[in-house]
Amino acid sequence: PVPPDSSRERLTARHSVFSPRLELFELRPLERTGEELGLADTLMVIQRWREALLSLSNGLPEKLRETLSGHTPEGRPLEGPHLALFPLAAVGFPSSGGRLLGLGAALPDGLAPEERRRLVQLLERVEELLLGPRGAWRVTGRREAPPRGPLRSAAWTLHPHGATRWSTVTPIVFDRHSKAKTPLARRLEEEESLVAGCQAIGLPAPRQALVTPVSAHLGVPPAHLFPFLRRKDGSPRRHAHAILVFDEPVTGPVLLGAGRYRGYGLCKPMDTEG
């Protein structure tokens, strides 16, 4: 007999508004020039990828164009979740270095199967990114996950069992200007912003939310080496690394803050390195 809910072991951890079924792509230079991309190149690479996707989206239904762009036809930001793009980098080991190995896409949870299929087809149509002086790069979909490394969904989600400890791989961008008058008040304000960011994507409030200048993952550059995400008036938004500890396991993708759709605010489990 099936035991009652109160005694049944919870097999699936909570996840966010993003589906734990990630779409992952390998990124390689078209020519052997020795050129490498790192996590500090995230904003530039994700922006080029997003532009390439939007350029191919004219045949999509309006709802899917909104899911892709994050905006209504009138240009207003969507209130609900939409497509989030993020980097896949080698981190977690002393020799990792944060080298960019691929790109990931997280779709909103709850899309109809046909809607998801059409968006995945669009993602697969972008086979090349032109990155100016950084050269041309081949984008290849991953049909079979490698046994280890960042080109596996499990490295970023730990689905279905989840993890309680997470840390950033790209810095979290804070939503608002700081009104704090002292360093302590600013730290408390930023930690409150992290908690609100978790709740905004459907996760529980973390027990601990620590703002740090560096990631807990080896190979991730310090926050100050990442270019700023800027407001429409050109002013920079504050960002920082973070460590989050939850009372219960949660599964990824964990994407937080004002840059969560553009490659920033990406967290990786600390409980299992991959």
139 with 22, same domain? Answer: yes
In the listed set 104, 128, 155, which residue is the last one of a domain according to the structure? Answer: 155
The answer to the question of residue 2 being in a domain is no
More confident residue, 182 or 163: 163
Based on the fold, state whether residues 149 and 164 are members of the same structural domain: no
Q: Could you tell me if 215 and 169 are in contact, meaning their C-beta atoms sit under 8 angstroms apart?
A: yes
The amino acid occupying position 182 is: T
Start-to-end C-alpha separation, the chain: 37
pTM of the model: 0.91
Where b means 16+ CB within 10 Å and e means fewer, 160-195 reads eebbbbbbbbbbbbbeeeeeeeeeeeeeeebbebbb
The pLDDT tens digits of the residues spanning 65-97 come to 999 999 998 888 888 899 999 999 989 877 778
Q: Is 265 left (phi over 0), alpha (psi -120 to 50) or beta?
A: left
User: How high is the pLDDT of residue 97?
Assistant: 80
Average pLDDT, the chain: 90
Residues 145 and 174 in one domain: no
How many domains is the chain partitioned into structurally?
A: 2
Sequence-distant (≥ 6) Cβ neighbours of residue 68 within 8 angstroms: 53, 54, 57, 60, 82, 83, 119, 122
> At 167, is the pLDDT very low, low, confident or very high (cuts 50, 70, 90)?
very high
pLDDT in tens, 124-156: 999 999 999 999 999 998 766 665 678 899 999
> Do 116 and 247 fall within a single domain?
no
pLDDT at 25 over 70: yes
Residue 147 sits in the same domain as residue 163? no
Q: Which of 100, 134, 155 is the last residue of a domain?
A: 155
Given 155, 184, 210, the domain boundary residue is: 155
pLDDT the model gives residue 53: 97
Q: Domain range for residue 177?
A: 157-269
Same domain? For 140 and 175 the reply is no
Q: Is 190 among the domain residues?
A: yes
